[in-house]
Amino acid sequence: MDVKKVAVIGGGTMGNGIAHVFAMNGFSVNLIETKQEFADRAMSTIQKNLDRMVKKEKIDEGKKKSTLDSISVFLDISEGVKDVDMVVEAVPENLDIKTSVWKQVDEAAPDHTIFGSNTSSISITKLAALTSRPEKFIGMHFFNPVPVMKLVEIVRGLQTDDDTYDVVEETSKKLQKVPVPVNDAPGFVSNRVLMPMINEAIFCVGEGVATAENVDEVMKLGMAHPMGPLRLADFIGLDVCLDILGVLYEGFKDPKYRPAPLLVKMVDAGKLGNKTGEGFYKYD
Ligand code: 3HC
């Protein structure tokens, strides 16, 4: 199957980036949000990121215009998915929200439509089982900032069939991304490896081993990471990090994934990182 039209559900940090890359690479995109103000915010972020690309001479004004013209906004899931070849869901990491979204999508999407979730840690097998077509359900895990990061971690659920995998792999290449297949397991590969590092960095700060700045310097200058783990935790969102550690902890029942007490306290205090203006660092 040749995917031409996609629906992206959710226009937050990940969703607007996903809509951006699909539209920029020739796909027609239905961007679905719950309220017009959220949709407007998503479109203005996409516009800003396209402006940044024009300034860096990665694309020209014509490409920016055609990208924006390829995105249509919908406030109703049934309307937005009724004629698409693929759905990519990027709503908050909450099973109740995802369940409600996937039930609506399942009822309204055409039979041939492939279902992809950008979940960072919820089981693909479990989400697939909410629908009547688990063989067409797959994880399509993008990385922030989506227009920049090359990886799509493609997560196969227990029932995902080979045809679905092949279409999603091909589609990811058309987005100029590098698809890497993994099987469904808590945290997949990316977050199973990344989150313990971030958590351990937070333990170091909490135990007074080093300041956040110095932990980050060690990892940037000693390991050539583009961002230190604490700056990255702020960028991802401390609440998201805590949620993912919870999934790892529950999924493996292994104490090595217990969240650092300082992480729990910061989330309780509402210091969630970039999005709230403060985490391990302060932001304007
Ligand atoms: N849209 C388009 N372009 C963007 C962009 C965006 N949102 N954000 C940055 N860029 C571009 C810039 O224009 C710049 O382009 P250039 O190379 O042509 O100059 C390039 O990206 C680098 O940006 P900056 O110069 O502004 O800043 P940095 O060099 O500090 O890079 C960064 C910023 C790309 C974010 C880099 O620090 C980085 O790679 N950090 C690590 C990010 C990471 O690990 N992401 C994964 C998070 S985990 C995740 O998402 C999974 C989830 O499940 C938790």
What ipTM, to 2 d.p.? 0.93
Is the CB of residue 87 below 6 angstroms from any atom belonging to ligand 1? no
Neighbours of 263 (CB within 10 A): 24
Whose CA is closest to atom 54 on ligand 1?
236
**112 included as an active-site residue:** no
Report pTM: 0.95
pLDDT of 1 reads: 85
**What is the C-alpha to C-alpha distance for residues 44 and 25, in angstroms, rounded to an integer?**
19
Is the CB of residue 197 below 6 angstroms from any atom belonging to ligand 1? no
Close Cβ partners of 14 (under 8 Å, ≥ 6 residues apart): 90, 118, 142, 144, 146
**What is the C-alpha to C-alpha distance for residues 133 and 128, in angstroms, rounded to an integer?**
7
Q: Which residues of the chain have pLDDT under 50?
A: none
Q: How far is the CA of 227 from the centre of ligand 1 (A)?
A: 9
Q: Compute CA 113 distance to the chain's CA centroid, rounded to the nearest angstrom.
A: 20
**What is the C-alpha to C-alpha distance for residues 176 and 152, in angstroms, rounded to an integer?**
10
> Residue 203: in which H helix or E strand, if any?
helix 190-206
pLDDT of 74 reads: 98
pLDDT of 121 reads: 85
Mutate to test the pocket of ligand 1, among 148, 245, 272 (most ligand atoms within 8 A of CB): 148
Whose CA is closest to atom 29 on ligand 1?
226
| Cβ pair 59, 147 in contact under 8 A | no
Which 3 state secondary structure label does DSSP give 160? coil
Which 3 state secondary structure label does DSSP give 75? coil
Q: Point out which residues pair with 124 in neighbouring strands.
A: none
When computed from its CA atoms, the radius of gyration of the chain, rounded to whole angstroms, is 19
- Give the tokens for residue 7: 């629906």
- Give the tokens for residue 235: 């960028």
Q: Which of 89, 153, 190, 199 is catalytic?
A: 153
pLDDT of 212 reads: 98
The single residue listed with the structure tokens 């304007």 is 284
